[in-house]
Amino acid sequence: MQYPDPIAKLIENYMKLPGIGNKNATRLAFFTIDMDDEAVTDFAKALVTAKRDLHYCQVCGNITESEPCNICLDQTRDQSKLIVVEQPKDVMSLEKMQEFHGLYHVLHGVLSPTEGTTPEEINIASLLKRLQTNEKIQEVILATNATPEGEATAMYLARLIKPAKIKVTRLAHGLAVGSDIEYADEMTLFRAIEGRQEI
């Protein structure tokens, strides 16, 4: 038996989300159908609003409504330290810790020869330009995930940045190899930042 077309399309669209297979997509589709009209309308509006109103900051690459983002605008933050992360969600994880008060730079990915991701396809050029034009930055903390791709990206960035006589450090103990920053708790992230090492 086939589902009616509206349900089938809803299931198909839920399956486009990461980590959602057919079974979960079907469950979500039927849950959506059972929602009252107002809740469905609010859900749809939230999707459209997020897509329409959010963009990436031209300075750091973080997700924002304003230009530049609030973090880049905040002159009370430590302008001498900059953490490089893979994704905007990593910025949110580090901000929840409330222990790091410097700046951020979001790469929007990592180098991956197997997937064909080259330096030109992630936010590296703007990082290098930023370091050349901002003399206040004295330390770059590489906070890519502890995966082979994250490690390779960190080493590549370290080689590019070091000639500029800027201190380059890497998050240390606290993050397990193969783990993502997004899933680490605040104490683990705090220890990782405190235990960073120069590379």
Domain CATH number, residue 119: 3.40.1360.10
Peptide bond into 163 cis (omega under 30): no
**107 in the same domain as 193:** yes
Pairing mode, if any, of strands 139-142 and 167-170? parallel
- Whole-angstrom Cα distance, residue 20 to residue 28? 9
CB atoms within 10 A of CB 168: 21
Pairing mode, if any, of strands 81-85 and 139-142? parallel
**66 in the same domain as 47:** no
C-alpha neighbours within 13 Å on the C-beta side of residue 84:
30
**129 in the same domain as 39:** no
**165 in the same domain as 105:** yes
Assign residue 40 the CATH number of its domain.
Answer: 1.10.8.420
**109 in the same domain as 146:** yes
**pTM for the whole structure:** 0.79
**64 in the same domain as 49:** no
Full domain range(s) for residue 25: 5-53
**135 in the same domain as 42:** no
What would the two tokens of residue 82 be?
């900059």
- Whole-angstrom Cα distance, residue 63 to residue 94? 14
pLDDT, residue 63, reads 96
**108 in the same domain as 15:** no
State the DSSP H helix or E strand holding residue 153, giving kind and residue range, or none if neither. helix 148-161
DSSP secondary-structure letter at 179?
-
**78 in the same domain as 39:** no
Residue-wise pLDDT tens for the chain (199 aa)? 688 999 999 999 999 999 999 999 999 999 999 999 999 999 999 999 999 999 999 999 999 999 999 999 999 999 999 999 999 999 999 999 888 999 999 999 999 888 888 888 999 999 999 999 999 999 999 999 888 898 899 999 999 999 989 999 987 656 666 778 887 777 678 767 877 777 7
**192 in the same domain as 109:** yes
Residue from 173, 107, 161, 110 nearest 134 by CA: 161
Where in the chain does DSSP place strands (E)? 55-56, 63-64, 81-85, 103-106, 139-142, 167-170, 197-198
State how many domains the chain has: 2
Q: Chain-centre distance of CA 113, in angstroms?
A: 20
**118 in the same domain as 102:** yes
